[in-house]
Structure 1
Amino acid sequence: MSTDSSALAAIRRLVADAVEFQNDVDRFIPLHTAEVTIVNFGGHRVSGRDALAEAMRQALATPLADVTTTVEVEDIRFHRDDVAIVTCVKRVFDGRDSATTALPATSGQLTYVMVEDGDRWRIASAQTTPTSA
């Protein structure tokens, strides 16, 4: 299995880009495969790049735009040279004003499946499971 330092660096860069562009649909969506499946912090599943773009646009038009996250990579394991499982800790920062909208958890376990797609790595799947503090 691959331990190629350039692949590891590219995967870490992809995670960093996903965090950086979390409120920029046009830059976030291309980080994913066309068939991507995302299960978000609230347990909502979205399949496909177009559906993900629409879900993001809808969320960013609400106070959810004030909920941001950071992600810390804990481990990268290659299933094949072109497929990696990336385990992370996601931390959520709820910038909304109302205490009634506050999220019940502020961290979660995030697992990505990433694939090498042509000349770059992309997110094929992401699952976030909330954890208690």
Structure 2
Amino acid sequence: MWTTAHGKRIVGKDEITAFTRAVLPGAMRESTATYDVEHILFVRDDVAVVNIRQRPVGLDGAPLDGVPEGRPVHVLVRSGDSWRIAAGQNTQVRD
């Protein structure tokens, strides 16, 4: 399950994939973002909640003025030696 920065809830791999394929190519044509982990809370040994700072940047890596940052939260679950995103929510930062 994923909730976008604008509150759209999308559920299931197929729906998330369809949304991503429809939205990201146009949205990321002239810019991208950096993602920095700011905090990890281990709920159990195999479940982690991760707070992330998402900064919009140009293709040259320079910050984009006037474009709000995001604060995604991911719930990760360990599967063998890997971690997988079980759920996520993105929130835009507004001043």
- Change beyond 3 A, Cα 1:90–1:60: closer
Alpha-carbon RMSD across the aligned residues, in angstroms, is 2.0
Structure 1 gaps, min length 5: 1-36, 96-103
Alignment TM-score, normalising by the size of structure 2 = 0.78
**What fraction of aligned residue pairs are identical, expressed as a percent?**
34
User: Unaligned regions of 5+ residues in structure 2, if any?
Assistant: 60-65
Structure 2 residue aligned with 1:30: none
Per the alignment, residue 132 of structure 1 pairs with 94
Q: Distance in 1 between matches of 2:4 and 2:14?
A: 16
Aligned residues: 88
In the other structure, the counterpart of 1:112 is 74
Instruction: Please state which structure has a larger fraction of its residues in helix.
Output: 1
In structure 2, the partner of 1:25 is none
> Counterpart amino acid of 1:125?
A
Q: TM-score, normalised by structure 1?
A: 0.58
Deviation at 1:119, TM superposition (A): 2.6
Structure 1 runs, 4 residues or longer, greater than 4 Å off: none
Question: Structure 1 residues 68 and 44, CA, compared in 2 at 3 Å: closer, same or farther?
Answer: farther
- Aligned residue for 2:5, secondary structure, equals coil
1:43-122 paired onto structure 2 within 5 Å: 43-61=7-25, 63-66=26-29, 67-93=31-57, 105-122=67-84
Give the C-alpha shift of residue 94 in structure 1.
6.8
Tell me the amino acid that sits aligned with residue 64 of structure 1. Answer: A
